[in-house]
Copies of this chain bind each other. A is one copy, B any other.
């Protein structure tokens, strides 16, 4: 079958191409969903879980370790602090959270890339944290700053990646105590999408804020969110000094913390979805409320990272029904709290971009969309339980994310969408390829995957019988080849480099 005949010449084609790029969502900065969220758990069940979370907060308590400042903040707020354990009077956390915004803007250096966090919106964000990278040519190896830059570039080029992310891989070739400078700089230099700050030490968080201030201006940063920052709870029921230090730094500077219980159910929480939800809600309540003591009104997200462990081997599992149910339930709990919600992504335990990787990722990603996740970290590139950033998986996942954009639009019932003129024109037994409605709409009617091979087996064989990973390998190389950096004001670039050089010279390299 050939492409329906186009009407009009070159000008018509170009106009339609442009129209398609706009209509097909290729330029939207984030998803504004037009379909309802899917709530799988009843209100009655959620009330039980909330009541249990209150019990955990009041009777069991949460540890805030090696961070006297946090303990003092809680004492002053009216909590019962015994050693490092904080017990929360019933309702305290919810009361504190009343100042947290339900929705806010994270600003990008290119205003067209600003994203709206919370409400009816979904933002897809690359994988965060892997020490290793993987591609089909060189296999598995430690990540470097070159890999880091490559993933920033790929995310910049991917229409359905709405965010540049944070630690897209660990640049292990740089000293631990200085690599945050290069990571933040890479996000600013090689992309103009919004990004995340360093959380591995309070001073590195401050460096991130200072670098952002050079880009956005100090006043702007103090009054607006320009960075999202990942604060993991050390589950069960514990926050450690590193995370608390970063949280305090960012909250004080009005930058959004994503307070995320990081839970492998069965090891770090009970071996049941309801028990896991109660515990993670307690942890999220305590962590998010702390930001509001530090600076009432500062933006904060309810985060959830949950997988289960294999009860045979203890290994983390992904894309499982239990973690999907927890993801969905946590999204409901966050909405009931009126907080923006982070979870989901494209998870897998597979060591290769194979069928296991894809099944597990698709299960999580579709549930991410259906559940109404606002900030979907790890939406592209995740491999091997988060130990690897995969080049091939990245380009596979961005294709899936782009499909989620289309799904979120729902069904168009405009007159053109109804297409009754086409049904009348074609009639019983006819075919629609040549009809006027198809001619007018074929360019942007259906999502076009860059990676799926829909051809006949004969065509596929004559194209080399490539599997999806092999095609993905070609695509990311082509993308990096085509990459063009967004313009960056030379004065800003210079000031960033000067800041980094100065700061890097203030202390010796170290790998802690």
Contacts and interface: CB of A to CB of B under 8 A. Distances in A.
A406 B60 contact: no
A45 B355 contact: no
Contacts of A385: 454
Contacts of A469: 354-355
Interface stretch (A147-155, A178-186, A195-203, A265-273): A265-273
A446 B356 CA distance: 18
A497 B454 CA distance: 42
A428 B237 contact: yes
Contacts of A419: 270-272, 274-275, 278
Nearest to A283: B428
Contacts of A85: 428
A372 to B, nearest CB: 11
Nearest to A1: B314
A478 interface: no
A187 to B, nearest CB: 28
Interface string A350-367: 111111111111110011
Interface string A422-447: 11101111111100011001110111
A496 B98 CA distance: 73
Interface in A274-304: 274-275, 277-279
A172 interface: no
A485 interface: no
A158 interface: no
Contacts of A321: 403-404, 406-407, 447
A309 B433 CA distance: 10
A474 to B, nearest CB: 14
5 contacts: A52-B423, A62-B428, A267-B433, A308-B446, A325-B407
Given A269-B423, A317-B454, A349-B453, 15 more contacts: A1-B309, A1-B314, A4-B311, A48-B418, A266-B442, A274-B417, A275-B417, A275-B419, A278-B423, A319-B452, A320-B406, A356-B467, A358-B358, A359-B468, A366-B367
Kindly list the 3 A-B residue pairs having the minimum CB-CB distance in the complex, ordered from nearest.
A1-B314, A275-B419, A358-B358
